[in-house]
Structure 1
């Protein structure tokens, strides 16, 4: 899935003449620099919101996300998140009498009839049937899915409003040279 923010109309209205004076190549460089700068600021905000939204630590979110930067040829800034499932053991899981207590999505909850298996990396499991095996892992939030939900999308789109101001800054740098 993709979140698309198109600011071309706003930027072209404000800076059409200056961008045309620079020529296609230099104008694309200016736009690309502005996209990368504002995209990085937006990426930081998205990661912070994901920490609050999912309960996953910032370092794990940082590892799971990758950035595809804008070039003068592409003029797109993309955030890519790995779609790995996260076991609820990552969320302060504690074994209790009734099951495992963990805090995915920032709320502590007891997962009934679950247990922690130290031999399998301390992950949380649940029996599928009445027999001892098979076991099924219990999963929490998925970063790739959470990236496309509510507050995260709103945060990324809010950052796009300052791209036009950044284009003005980059234009002033190029014109002064």
Structure 2
């Protein structure tokens, strides 16, 4: 959870502005407006940084920091961004299937995930399954292949047949968790930079509200 709050001499300025204006709520409205302005700016910058840091699409980075936000009110003077979500599937990291497994690029570093797959069928005649939605899968079980013997009653006499066992499969995950990425690296720096911009924005709002008397 990322939170922006008025700090330093901000509350003292608030009290002084309230005294001059004879109105306690109006300064808090201005403070809240400043917090929301800087919170949104920081969220936009952090969304871009999150995409660069993780290898996720730009649209996904933006949604991650805008999806669950508690904006500031004159009562709370707090802007909170809630990070949520589990381990991200390989689907979101530009996957492509190779003979050795699916190649994908979480954290922007492309690598092979051995024995994973995105298509069905035997090489080289691999086919896409529309209902798989371009997900990457791994087999659950040993998944070995063997030749059926002639004595097998389900095999036509004299025919050898390839049979795969352990065919249940699950979505392959990346090892990357968005909430963890939001509080480290370039994404965390974007939030810190946004917090540093808050004081200047508060000063701007106070000066405008008091016509320059409080600064």
Scaled to the shorter chain, the TM-score interval is 0.7 to 0.9
- Greater Cα shift, 144-153 or 66-75: 144-153
TM-score by length of 1: 0.86
- Structure with the higher helix share, 1 or 2: 1
Structure 1 residue aligned with 2:114, among 108, 112, 115?
112
Instruction: Answer yes or no: is 1:170 the counterpart of 2:189.
Output: no
Provide the secondary structure at the position in 2 that maps to 1:8: coil
Q: 1:138 aligns with which of 153, 157, 172?
A: 172
* Larger gyration radius, structure 1 or structure 2: 2
Gaps of 5+ in 1: none
CA deviation vs aligned residue, 1:128-172 (integer Å, no higher than 9, x gap): 211433312112233223212233222202211121111111112
Alpha carbons 1:34, 1:166 under 8 Å: kept: yes
Alignment correspondent of 2:61: 61
The number of residue pairs the alignment matches comes to: 176
CA distance in 2, matches of 1:130, 1:61: 36
TM-score by length of 2: 0.72
**1:96 and 2:98 aligned:** yes
C-alpha RMSD of the superposition: 2.3
* Distance apart, 1:69 and its partner CA: 1.2
The CA distance in 2 between the partners of 1:138 and 1:57, in whole Å, is: 18
Indicate if the aligned counterparts of 1:114 and 1:126 stay in contact, CA closer than 8 A: yes
5+ long unaligned stretches in structure 2: 120-128, 144-165
Report runs of 4+ in structure 1 exceeding 4 Å deviation. 13-16
Task: State the alpha-carbon separation in 2 of the partners of residues 39 and 32 from structure 1.
Answer: 10
SS at match of 2:118: strand
